[in-house]
C-alpha cells in the first residue's frame, strides 16, 4: 500500500511537471481474437487486449500465420486502393483510457515493437518507401489542435525493386516537422519469415547540437541498426504525440496488386523496458512473448506451446 501511494504521488508529480500522461503500455498479439474478425474497437479494448481504434478495415485476426500464441493479424491491401481506412490501422492513445494512455510529451520516451512477415513474392509499392510506423505529432494553438505531421519510420522494399533516392536502407526515418531523413544501416528485410522491428524516440524539440535531449533508435531483429541524437522529434516544447499509425497508407497511385501480409506482437510502451540491448539501451527486444513453434499437426504432438 505504501509503495502504491508513493507511485501515485510520483505519477501526479510527473504529470504536474511535464504535463504528460503516466507511463502506459498497449499490446496487440491477437491470441484471444476470433479468426476472421476485424481488429477494431472505438474504446481500444477487444479480445482481452488493446486494438486499433480506427482505419483498420482490412485487418483481421488470423490462425493462418502467427509469431506467438497461434494467432496473428492479417493485413490487406486491395488493387487500386490507397490503403487509408483499410491497411493496418490507427491507435489513438486517448481512446485507450483503460490503460491510462494519453499524449506523450517532451522528455518522455516511447518504444514501438512489432513483428512483421511478408510473403516471399510480396511486391512493395513502386516508389520504394512504404509508410510503416508513424507517430502523429501535434501542438495546441489556442484551442486548436495543429498537426506537425508524423515521426515516420518507413520500411523499404528490397534494392532493385524500386527507385532509390540517396541509397538503400531497409528502414528510414523522417520527422515531417523537421524534414531531415535518417537512413538506418542493416541488411534488407527478409521476405517469407518473421522480422522483429523496434522504433524508439525520446521527445525533444531540440537535438543534441542545440542543447536538447532527443534520440532516435531503430532495431532490426534485435540489432541496433540506427541511432542518432541529431534529429528534432517535436516542433515545440509543448508538442505531443497522441497516436500510432501502422502502415495506413500505400502510395499516391493506388496499389498495383492485391496482397496480404501479417503482423504480431505489437507493443507500444512509455514505461522503460527492463530488457537492454548489448549496448545497454533499454528496449522491448526479441522476447516478450518468447517465440512459439508452429503447430506440428501430428497425432500425439501438442498443437501449440503456451506463450507467457
- Judged by the rule CB under 5 A, the positions of this chain that interact with Ca ion are 29-31, 66, 68-69, 71, 264
Beta strand 215-220 pairing with 223-228: antiparallel
How far, in Å, CA of 104 to CA of 241, rounded?
5
Q: What is the CA radius of gyration of the chain?
A: 19
Tell me whether residue 201 or residue 286 sits nearer to Ca ion (CB atom).
Answer: 286
**Angle (CA) 74 79 84, round 5°:** 65
CB of 297: closest distance to Ca ion in angstroms? 18
Size of the chain, expressed as the number of residues it contains = 308
Q: For Ca ion, which is the closer residue by CB, 20 or 69?
A: 69
Phi, psi of 73 (to 5 degrees): -120, 130
In the bound complex, what is the minimum distance in angstroms from residue 173's beta carbon to Ca ion? 27
CB-nearer residue toward Ca ion: 74 or 204 = 74
Shortest distance (Å) from residue 273 CB to Ca ion:
19
Q: From the CB of 264, what's the least distance to Ca ion, in Å?
A: 4
Residue 210 CA to residue 206 CA, distance in Å, equals 6
Query: What is the closest distance, in whole angstroms, from the C-beta atom of residue 62 to Ca ion in the complex?
Result: 10
Comparing CB distances to Ca ion, the nearer of 15 and 307 is: 307
Burial of 137 (0-12, 13-18, 19+ CB in 10 A): buried
Q: How far is the CB of 27 from Ca ion (least distance, A)?
A: 10
Closest CA to 264 of 243, 241, 294: 294
145's grid cell = 489542435
In 3D space, the residue among 84, 95, 98, 108 whose CA is nearest the CA of residue 21 turns out to be 108
* Residue 69 or 273 with smaller CB distance to Ca ion: 69
- Least distance to Ca ion, CB of residue 59, Å: 14
Smaller CB distance to Ca ion: residue 118 or 175?
118
**Gap between the Cα atoms of 106 and 89, Å rounded:** 25
C-beta of 71 vs 117, nearer to Ca ion: 71
Q: At CA 117, angle to CA 115 and CA 122, rounded to 5?
A: 150
> Environment class of residue 186 by beta-carbon count within 10 Å: exposed (0-12), middle (13-18) or buried (19+)?
middle
C-alpha cell at 275: 530488457
Q: Which is nearer to Ca ion, 54 or 63 (CB)?
A: 63
- Closest by Cα among 119, 75, 76 to 266: 75
The CB-of-293 to Ca ion minimum distance in angstroms stands at 13
Amino acid at each position: 500500500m505504501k509503495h502504491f501511494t508513493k507511485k501515485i504521488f510520483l505519477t501526479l508529480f510527473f504529470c504536474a511537471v511535464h504535463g504528460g500522461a503516466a507511463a502506459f503500455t498497449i499490446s496487440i498479439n491477437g491470441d484471444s481474437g476470433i479468426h476472421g474478425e476485424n481488429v477494431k474497437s472505438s474504446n481500444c479494448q477487444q479480445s482481452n487486449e488493446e486494438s486499433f481504434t480506427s482505419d483498420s478495415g482490412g485487418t483481421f485476426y488470423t490462425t493462418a500465420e502467427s509469431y506467438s500464441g497461434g494467432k496473428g493479424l492479417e493485413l490487406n491491401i486491395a488493387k487500386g486502393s490507397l490503403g487509408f481506412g483499410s491497411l493496418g490501422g490507427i491507435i489513438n492513445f486517448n481512446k485507450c483510457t483503460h490503460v491510462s494512455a494519453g499524449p506523450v510529451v517532451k522528455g518522455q520516451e516511447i518504444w514501438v515493437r512489432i513483428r512483421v512477415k511478408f510473403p516471399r513474392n510480396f511486391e512493395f509499392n513502386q516508389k520504394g518507401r512504404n509508410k510503416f510506423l508513424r507517430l502523429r505529432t501535434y501542438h495546441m494553438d489556442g484551442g486548436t489542435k495543429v498537426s506537425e505531421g508524423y515521426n515516420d519510420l518507413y520500411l523499404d522494399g528490397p534494392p532493385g525493386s524500386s527507385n532509390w533516392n540517396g541509397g538503400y536502407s531497409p528502414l528510414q526515418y523522417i520527422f515531417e516537422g523537421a524534414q531531415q531523413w535518417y537512413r538506418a544501416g542493416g541488411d534488407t528485410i527478409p521476405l517469407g519469415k518473421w522480422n522483429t522491428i523496434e522504433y524508439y524516440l525520446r521527445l525533444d524539440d531540440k537535438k543534441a547540437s542545440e542543447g536538447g535531449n532527443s534520440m532516435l533508435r531503430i532495431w532490426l531483429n534485435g540489432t541496433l541498426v540506427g541511432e542518432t541524437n541529431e534529429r528534432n522529434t517535436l516542433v515545440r516544447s509543448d508538442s505531443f504525440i497522441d497516436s500510432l499509425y501502422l502502415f495506413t497508407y500505400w502510395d499516391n497511385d493506388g496499389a498495383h496488386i492485391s496482397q496480404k501480409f501479417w503482423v504480431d506482437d505489437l507493443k507500444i510502451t512509455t514505461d522503460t523496458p527492463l530488457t537492454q540491448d548489448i549496448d545497454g539501451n533499454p528496449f522491448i527486444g526479441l522476447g516478450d512473448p518468447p517465440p512459439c513453434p508452429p503447430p506440428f499437426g501430428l497425432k500425439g504432438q501438442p498443437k501449440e506451446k503456451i506463450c507467457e
